[in-house]
A = this chain, B = another copy of it.
Amino acid sequence: MLQVITSISDIKNKIQTLKQNQLTIGFVPTMGALHEGHLSLVRQAKKENDQVFVSIFINPLQFGKNEDFRQYPRVFDKDCELLSSEGVDIVFNPIPAEMYPDDFCTSVIPRHLEDKLCGKSRPGHFRGVAVVVLKLFNLVKPDIAYFGQKDFQQTVVIKRIVSDLNLDVNIKILPTIRDNEGLALSSRNAYLNETEKKDALCLYSSLVKAQSMVNAGIKKAEEILLEMEKVINNCKTARIDYISIVNPETLAAVPRVRKGDVVALAVRIGKTRLIDNVIL
């Protein structure tokens, strides 16, 4: 039976009991508005752990002033139904004022990683991600935590912080889940109208183009990026935020593609900013 926990003292008590009984904990941190991408993480967590925790917390610190914190979809009851049918044990839905009391003052900053790719147009975003994930890890004490490859830069930041701060949590990154036409699932896809949904396919088309060029032996990043731009600029509602081919650990742009490099992009479709990536 799915149990919802909202207070920090309740989650601490629950975790303490599980740890005393030497049960392993799988953890999927989310902002809710769950889709098959989240559920793929949950299913993997079910396979690999005694207990599965999912957090639903729309973290104010990771939204910029002009971003969509207020509009972000909130469908808690529906999310709980989904998680219940997946056999999740605990939903942790913390109270914002308890997560960030008035005198809260600690920043966690992934230097060098935070100002690249999405960080350029979302200043402060990855600090917000870093601090909330660190807090959630300290509260839930998971053995394994699961994240989607779709939020590529987030996965790099989290792995870096876990390593730098010597946290005892195994981070697993699972593949991006796409709809039948290739659109990466995202809670923000709910913002798209029918025309925009079709135009949004250009993100994946451009990534497929990049992969096929690499498969054909083209290694020069500039050449690949140029062709990707063409694919995206064919869509009238699309406006490129960035396209970049980067080292998967440092996020530094690479001039020539090597196996394991990641091509990542953010594109605005109308007012909606979408991201996607593939590992080359």
Contacts and interface: CB of A to CB of B under 8 A. Distances in A.
Interface of A: 8, 12, 103-113, 130-131, 134-135, 138-139, 160-161, 164-168, 249-250
Report whether over half of chain A's contact residues are helix, strand or loop; otherwise say mixed. Answer: mixed
Contact of A167 (B138, B160, B168, B249): B138
Per CB-CB distance, the 6 closest pairs between chain A and chain B, nearest first, are A106-B164, A107-B109, A138-B166, A105-B111, A105-B112, A139-B166
A106 B111 CA distance: 6
Contacts of A108: 106-109, 165
B249 A103 contact: yes
Copies of this subunit: 2
A110 B103 contact: no
Nearest to A134: B165
A118 B274 CA distance: 45
A139 B167 CA distance: 8
Contacts of A107: 107-109, 111
Given A105-B113, A108-B108, 17 more contacts: A103-B249, A103-B250, A105-B110, A105-B112, A106-B108, A106-B110, A106-B164, A106-B165, A107-B107, A107-B108, A107-B109, A108-B109, A108-B165, A109-B109, A134-B165, A135-B166, A138-B167
